[in-house]
Amino acid sequence: MKAKTIGFVGLGLIGGSIAKAILKKYPNTKILATASRESTVEAAYEEHLIDNNGLLKIHQFGQCDIIFLCSPVKINCDYLKQLKDVVKPDCIITDVGSVKGDITAVARELGVTSQFIGGHPMTGSELTGLEHSDARLLENAYYILTADADMNQKTYNEFGEFIKSLGAIPIKLSSEEHDEATAAVSHLPHVIAASLVNLVQDNDDERTTCKTIAAGGFKDITRIASGSPTMWQHIFLSNRQAILKLLDAYKEELETFRKAIDESDADQILKLWSKAKDYRDSITIPENALIRFYELYCDIDDKPGTLVGVLQLLADVDISVKNIDIIHNREFEPGVLRIEFYTEDAMKKAQTTLTHNNYYVRQRTN
């Protein structure tokens, strides 16, 4: 698919990352974009990511060959309505929302399903905004594509190849299949994470004991609760029925666990946990997927200069550290010092460096 001009309505983490991936692969592409804040557009222009310096009106996207809608789900629906009479007949309109039902319904009402391809890159971060976008965000990430029967299959396949050329792994589903699957593996977990954080906060004491001793396990399973509240508000309202169906099923699953614990049923507890462990262990992550966390855990002595010494060793061999913190609750953690890196190569190089300098270092797998 040869796209000379590509438009972005919304330019946050996902939109910015897709735009950067496109320019990395196709440097001669003209990219136009608008956003909710003019400062975002100005920042994108200053880093030579887009060709316009200032907010655009919807009619100015009429020259585009592909348009990515990168706003919250409900807002994408509104933009699709505005674009109907603006775009060229052969322009592909796509979105990046994590719910496909609402926008597909709007595309059907407008009669533009021959031009609309639903898109959902299964990647992201707890961080938001253009400043955190990265061309590598799509690398080896599943990118779900949906389309109605009247979509030209040649166009659909070409768009899939275009997404694949950006480093992603396209998967074709119906909009219904998409919403049911993402409700299970993404939307419900976000409900659980947010409700668990609220539960712990509401039951914490005046000294915030729970917050203080929260172990890495708690932070891992609630990491996704740090996502954009506005975005998740749109998602929950858009995929309401699928999420409610799964919430009811989850309540039954919790009751099964509760009953086993209440009755001190050791065999049932073991059975339930073993079933979960076997399925969780069967879920694999692509070796080079960006969604992995490149972390090392290192034991260090509690004395002045030790932390600085570790960082100096890494700096001496030109290794950049993404994040670093001291683990105070190590109930389920493999070391005192957690060091996070940007790449797997940097993590491996750091492990070799620290091991050769007599530090006890372990990796932690996802």
Q: Is the pLDDT of residue 186 over 70?
A: yes
Query: In which band, very low, low, confident or very high, does the pLDDT at 330 lie, cut at 50, 70 and 90?
Result: very low
Strands in 5-9's sheet, in edge-to-edge order, are 30-34, 5-9, 66-69, 92-95, 116-121, 142-146, 169-172
Q: Which residues of 235-270 are buried (b: 16+ CB within 10 A; e: fewer)?
A: bbebbeebbeebeeebeeeeeeeeebeeeeeeeeee
Q: Which of 79-88, 136-145, 219-228, 310-319 has the lowest mean pLDDT?
A: 219-228
Q: What is the mean pLDDT of residues 244-252?
A: 95
Contact predicate 21/137, CB 8 Å: yes
Architecture of the domain delimited by 179-254 = Orthogonal Bundle (1.10)
User: pLDDT by residue (tens digit) across 143-182?
Assistant: 999 999 899 999 999 999 999 999 898 999 999 999 999 9
Q: Is the pLDDT of residue 291 over 60?
A: no
Instruction: Please list, in sequence order, all residues whose beta carbon lies within 8 angstroms of the beta carbon of residue 303, skipping any fewer than 6 positions away.
Output: none
Instruction: Please list, in sequence order, all residues whose beta carbon lies within 8 angstroms of the beta carbon of residue 275, skipping any fewer than 6 positions away.
Output: none
* Angle (nearest 5°) at CA 130 between 129 and 135: 120
Is 294-363 in the same CATH topology as 5-173? no
Instruction: Name the amino acid, one letter, at 328.
Output: H
What tokens does 189 get?
């977990």
Q: Is the pLDDT of residue 216 over 80?
A: no
CA dist., res. 77 & res. 72, Å (int): 9
pLDDT of residue 334: 45
Q: What are phi and psi of 93, to 5 degrees?
A: -105, 130
Q: Which of 147-156, 294-303, 305-314, 333-342 has the lowest mean pLDDT?
A: 333-342
Q: In the chain, how many H helices and how many E strands? A: 14, 11
pLDDT of residue 343: 84
Q: Is the pLDDT of residue 329 over 50?
A: no
Query: In which band, very low, low, confident or very high, does the pLDDT at 302 lie, cut at 50, 70 and 90?
Result: low
pLDDT of residue 215: 65
Fold of 294-363: Alpha-Beta Plaits (3.30.70)
Mean pLDDT of the chain: 88
Q: Is the pLDDT of residue 184 over 60?
A: yes
Q: Which of 42-51, 110-119, 258-267, 289-298 has the lowest mean pLDDT?
A: 289-298
Q: Is the pLDDT of residue 234 over 90?
A: no
DSSP 223-281: GGGGS-HHHHHHHHHHTHHHHHHHHHHHHHHHHHHHHHHHTT-HHHHHHHHHHHHHHHH
pLDDT of residue 12: 92
Contact predicate 169/140, CB 8 Å: yes
More confident site: 126 or 116: 116
Fold of 5-173: Rossmann fold (3.40.50)
What tokens does 365 get?
């797998």
Instruction: Name the amino acid, one letter, at 17.
Output: S
> Beta strand pairing status for 337-341 and 294-299?
antiparallel
Q: Is the pLDDT of residue 137 over 60?
A: yes
The strand pairing partners of 341, in sequence order, are 294, 321
Contact predicate 309/319, CB 8 Å: no
Return the residue matching tokens 């539960």. 199
In the chain, % of residues over pLDDT 70: 91
Q: What is the mean pLDDT of residues 37-60?
A: 94
pLDDT of residue 289: 44
* Angle (nearest 5°) at CA 75 between 70 and 76: 45
| Alpha-carbon radius of gyration of the chain | 23
Neighbours of 25 (CB within 10 A): 13
Q: Which of 36-50, 132-146, 181-195 has the lowest mean pLDDT?
A: 132-146
What tokens does 295 get?
């972390």
Query: In which band, very low, low, confident or very high, does the pLDDT at 228 lie, cut at 50, 70 and 90?
Result: confident
For the chain, the structural domain boundaries read 5-173, 179-254, 294-363
pLDDT of residue 290: 39
What is this structure's pTM? 0.72
Contact predicate 96/15, CB 8 Å: yes
